[in-house]
Amino acid sequence: MRVDVVTLFPELFETFLKTSFVGRAMTGGQLTARFRSPRDFGLGKHKSVDDTPYGGGSGMVMRVDVMVACMEALDTEAEAAGLPRARRVLLTPQGTPFVQSIAARFSTTPAVMLICGRYEGFDERIRGFVDEEVSLGDFVMTGGEVAAMAMIEASVRLIPGVLGNEESTHEESHGEGGLLEYPHYTRPADFRGQGVPEVLASGNHAHIAAWRRAQSMERTRTRRPDLIEHVEAAVFEKLAKARKESAG
């Protein structure tokens, strides 16, 4: 997976890309990263990348000409090196919420370009030069760099070979089953009067699996009832498909 990042502050990513499994993915070749700053295409003596908004208002707006020039430069460099064009992703609070399924899609996309903004926002015309818009959540930050790091980490860990235990990505929260993950316990067996469920020490793997499934269902129903609706819909869809195939 290649990640191209459009950012005014590429130095923010230096430690991140050397740390933990992201660093191992960089070393192992599962992840490569390129950076370009819009400042390289800025205008005038001060290499300006923003300007005052038409119609007035607070803050400054990222210029469309500067941002597009930066994106196109990354694409031109990729083409010259025989690399695939990156899927352009604009990081904005107005975008589609970033969820596990998007992380999984990014992990199988040869190249993704994450476009980080600053200041008040982007010139609206920039949206016509990207493939999709994604949001980290319903809140606003000063820039898109932290969001980009979160998306890189969530996606890279799904690439085969990056994590030591591949099964961990299937059972965790928001994984293939769509439920929140069941609770975990480790030593000590008793901590200030709080013990460990007996079933986990029983050695009966069938009972443990059933307990974990029940805990996942209950935890999801209590904490994220909206997810239960999606899980039930998926189950009904799967049953209907099975009935149709058996009838045919």
User: What Cα–Cα distance (Å) separates residue 14 from each residue in 3, 25, 145?
Assistant: 14, 14, 12
The angle, 0 to 180 degrees and rounded to 10, between the axes of the packed helices 205-223 and 225-247 is 120
Assign 188 a pLDDT band (cuts: 50, 70, 90): very high
Answer yes or no: is pLDDT of 248 > 70: no
Tell me what the mean pLDDT of segment 57-71 comes to. Answer: 96
The CATH class that applies to domain 2-156 reads alpha beta
Q: Are 9 and 148 in contact (CB under 8 A)?
A: no
Residue with the bigger pLDDT between 115 and 236: it is: 115
Question: Which CATH topology does 173-247 take?
Answer: Trp Operon Repressor; Chain A (1.10.1270)
State pLDDT tens for residues 94-147.
999 999 999 999 999 999 999 999 988 999 999 999 999 999 999 999 999 999
Q: What's the whole-number average pLDDT of the chain?
A: 92
Tell me what the mean pLDDT of segment 4-26 comes to. Answer: 98
pLDDT of residue 243: 72
pLDDT of residue 119: 85
- Map out the domains of the chain as residue ranges: 2-156, 173-247
Secondary structure of 189-201 as H, E, C letters = CCECCECCCHHHH
Q: Which of 122, 112, 116 is nearest to 136 (CA)?
A: 116
Assign 176 a pLDDT band (cuts: 50, 70, 90): low
3-state secondary structure of 219: helix
Assign 165 a pLDDT band (cuts: 50, 70, 90): low
pLDDT of residue 230: 74
pLDDT of residue 224: 92
pLDDT of residue 231: 78
pLDDT of residue 247: 73
Answer yes or no: is pLDDT of 233 > 80: no
- For the ranges 11-25, 56-70, 205-219, 224-238, the lowest mean pLDDT is seen at 224-238
Answer yes or no: is pLDDT of 212 > 70: yes
pLDDT of residue 229: 79
* pTM for the structure as a whole: 0.87
pLDDT of residue 195: 97
Tell me what the mean pLDDT of segment 154-171 comes to. Answer: 80
Helices (H), the chain: 20-28, 64-80, 100-107, 145-156, 168-171, 205-223, 225-247
